Structure 1
Amino acid sequence: MTNDTLKTASVLAFERKLDPSDALFFAGDWNQRDASSTWQPLQIHAKSVRGTISNRLKTKDQDPAKLDAAIENPNLQTVDVATLPHDADTLKVTFTLRVLSGTGTPSACNDSDYLQRLRETIDGYVQEHGFAELARRYAFNLANGRFLWRNRVGAEQVEVRIERLVDGKAQSAWTFDALALSLRNFDAPAAARQALDEVGALVADGLHGRQNVLLAVTAFVRIGRGQEVFPSQELILDRGRGDKSKTLYAVDNVAGIHSQKLGNAIRSVDTWYPGAEELGPIAIEPYGSVTTQGKAYRQPKAKIDFYTLLDNWILKGKAPERDNQHYVVAVLIRGGVFGDAS
């Protein structure tokens, strides 16, 4: 089949190859990190607060009398909060991560010719580059505690332990000082380089399918007794009268972080987009979307979005430069539905 007759499959879907569980929160003492029996599940509780009017006012509401009247009506709210007990100074966060093989093999594809070309292309990438660079970056984001999000900010100490589980038992283990590893780049300090290389090699083996890889990740975050911690916030689509204005995520009454949020942090490896020197790594997304900034860093007009790069690579045989090849394969590892539906 020639390039002119090959078209993108209308049904094309990929399953994610990095599959984290939800993370659970526990509270305890920093000096008791090795005593698992001393760590208590962290629960969410509600509190009611009396807020003041602080939002930006419309022009018609800026009249002094109207503003004074509005301030007399308090902004009453009930919110979920999660805090460490006053006898615990450390947050413990635990989750597991499965690394799956089959990158480049879609879970659904209704065009056999396209499927063959896709497999040939990804096989060529693997033979030339392997998964070493991507796996190294995924390992780095585990070791530096990026998955802790706001819980990492202002922490006095952060220790991340990664274990490889075989038959439910730890076969290998690595410990990292997360605050010694940057969130802005993937340059490993000498002290952590060997351990990072070993975890990265294990992730790469899992992506290759050379061995089954299941990792247990545990982070200890020393933030101070009684301090607030930050589980995921639930999106309540059908909010009725009297509901809480903030609802936090819990699994069996234990505070936690959504697996999707963990996945976003682990795949924050894209430093190949324009302007990466200023912003640093962003999550792998087809258009380089960063929702907190309301901006897409990989615009189709610039021909650096996933779909343009993939179509040129598969349909036209025009391979992107090496960095964007890493990016395209990372999107396939992320998974998604990418068919060219009418």
Structure 2
Amino acid sequence: MANELKTASVLAFERKFDPSDALLSSGNWATREASQDWAPIALREKSVRGTISNRLPAKDQDPLKLNAKIESPNLQTVDVATLPADADTLKVQFTLRVLGGTGQPSACNDAAYRQKLLATVGSYVQQHGFAELAKRYAANLANGRFLWRNRIGAEQVEVTVAQIKDGKAAASWTFNALAHDMNALVASGTEQANVQALADVIAAGLGGTSHVLLQITAFVRVGAGQEVFPSQELILDKGSSKKSKTLYDVGGVAAMHSQKIGNALRTIDTWYPEASVNGPIAVEPYGSVTTQGRAYRQPKEKQDFYNLLDGWVIKDKVPDADQQHFVMATLIRGGVFGDADK
């Protein structure tokens, strides 16, 4: 058919969750109410002498060759970030904008496809709204997933989320992050109402009915002088850096990348085939988890974003509710999804 609907060759969506970088500072748990006066955490270099511990090829396992390698020190210069000796608590703070217009492409060169896409998204919003997705995003704020390694082994973790209006906190919710089940994305019994209230605000932002700016502040009690973990920089030109580990800073203050924060917040996909075993993963078109070297949403199984979207928009094959949530979460993530081959 001459007028057969096809995927637009140019198709892009702007992200609807827009976090800032997160800045790290330090103080004491007992004084967290006055944390605006806490000192920023700075990076410093450390030179260490390591030992050879990597797996050796068979040709180097001869005792003489191994002894020769051991005698050669493994010298490294690395960036480190630690709490001061008189501070036991890490403070992590960032802001998050929640934008409306979900499903409306920022670029689309096919008017017919755009019209059908908007109608499809509209039917989803009418049937489901953003309640399910917002509840999951709210759960990841409440459980402190965005802290990554800083959350592991902490004695106490408190997260406060404030909705900012006219430069002031119009509402705020405080959570005991360690009381939340990160795998089930379920709030603890005493905090369910707060998580739901936060989810309602996020849903309003995604629906475009309210301007939503959140300020997230986390306090992590790890112990005086303990190491903390900003983001690590990816050095593409290895010859330009003499350090084997370079950490991220903003104006001299240790920080976490906004991309890393965003990845944690969108770790809500429990709709992929192996979710009951592995728990939630970040929303990605192919269910990619780089640390595991796996793509859990394989195209041959028709569970990836592209097959689901094309089936839904072009072929009128409506996915089940779970996969509809996944498709919408991917649109919230944003990206370039056009069919350039056509």
SS at match of 1:26: strand
SS at match of 2:238: coil
Structure 2 residue aligned with 1:173:
172
Counterpart CA distance in 1 for 2:241 and 2:161 is: 43
Q: How many residues align?
A: 341
Does the aligned pair in 1 maintain the 2:286–2:296 contact within 8 Å?
yes
Structure 1 residue aligned with 2:257:
258
Q: Which amino acid aligns with 1:7?
A: K
Change (3 A) 1:62 1:36: same
Q: Which amino acid aligns with 1:45?
A: R
TM-score calculated relative to the size of structure 2? 0.98
1:200 is the counterpart of 2:199: yes
1:9 is the counterpart of 2:14: no
Structure 2 residue aligned with 1:232:
231
Does the aligned pair in 2 maintain the 1:82–1:230 contact within 8 Å?
yes
CA offset digits 1:244-290 (Å, max 9, x no partner): 00000000000010000000000000000111111111000000000
1:322 is the counterpart of 2:321: yes
Does the aligned pair in 2 maintain the 1:43–1:254 contact within 8 Å?
yes
Does the aligned pair in 2 maintain the 1:17–1:335 contact within 8 Å?
yes
Counterpart CA distance in 2 for 1:335 and 1:190 is: 33
Change (3 A) 1:150 1:132: same
Structure 1 residue aligned with 2:70:
71
SS at match of 1:210: coil
Structure 2 residue aligned with 1:130:
129
Map of 1:160-309 to 2, 5 A cutoff?
160-240=159-239, 243-309=242-308
Q: Which amino acid aligns with 2:56?
A: L
Q: CA deviation at 1:38?
A: 3.5
1:335 is the counterpart of 2:334: yes
Does the aligned pair in 1 maintain the 2:133–2:325 contact within 8 Å?
yes
Counterpart CA distance in 1 for 2:232 and 2:139 is: 26
Does the aligned pair in 2 maintain the 1:3–1:315 contact within 8 Å?
no
Runs of 4+ with deviation above 4 angstroms = none
Structure 2 residue aligned with 1:38:
37
1:24 is the counterpart of 2:20: no
Q: Which runs of 5+ in 2 are unaligned?
A: none
Change (3 A) 1:165 1:316: same
Q: Which amino acid aligns with 1:258?
A: H
Q: Which amino acid aligns with 2:149?
A: R
Q: CA deviation at 1:4?
A: 7.3
Residue identity over aligned pairs, in percent, reads: 65
Structure 2 residue aligned with 1:152:
151
Counterpart CA distance in 2 for 1:241 and 1:150 is: 28
TM-score calculated relative to the size of structure 1? 0.98
Counterpart CA distance in 1 for 2:178 and 2:63 is: 49
Q: Which amino acid aligns with 1:5?
A: E
Counterpart CA distance in 1 for 2:174 and 2:10 is: 43
Change (3 A) 1:26 1:3: farther
Q: Which amino acid aligns with 2:160?
A: R
CA offset digits 1:187-231 (Å, max 9, x no partner): 222201100000000000000011100000000000000000000
Counterpart CA distance in 1 for 2:274 and 2:241 is: 44
SS at match of 1:244: coil
Counterpart CA distance in 1 for 2:108 and 2:197 is: 35
Change (3 A) 1:200 1:43: same
SS at match of 2:239: coil
RMSD: 1.1
SS at match of 1:193: helix
Does the aligned pair in 1 maintain the 2:181–2:188 contact within 8 Å?
no
Q: Which amino acid aligns with 1:267?
A: R
Does the aligned pair in 2 maintain the 1:20–1:98 contact within 8 Å?
yes
Counterpart CA distance in 2 for 1:176 and 1:37 is: 19
Q: Which amino acid aligns with 2:34?
A: A
Does the aligned pair in 1 maintain the 2:139–2:186 contact within 8 Å?
no
Counterpart CA distance in 1 for 2:269 and 2:245 is: 31
SS at match of 1:155: coil
Q: CA deviation at 1:3?
A: 11
Change (3 A) 1:63 1:30: same
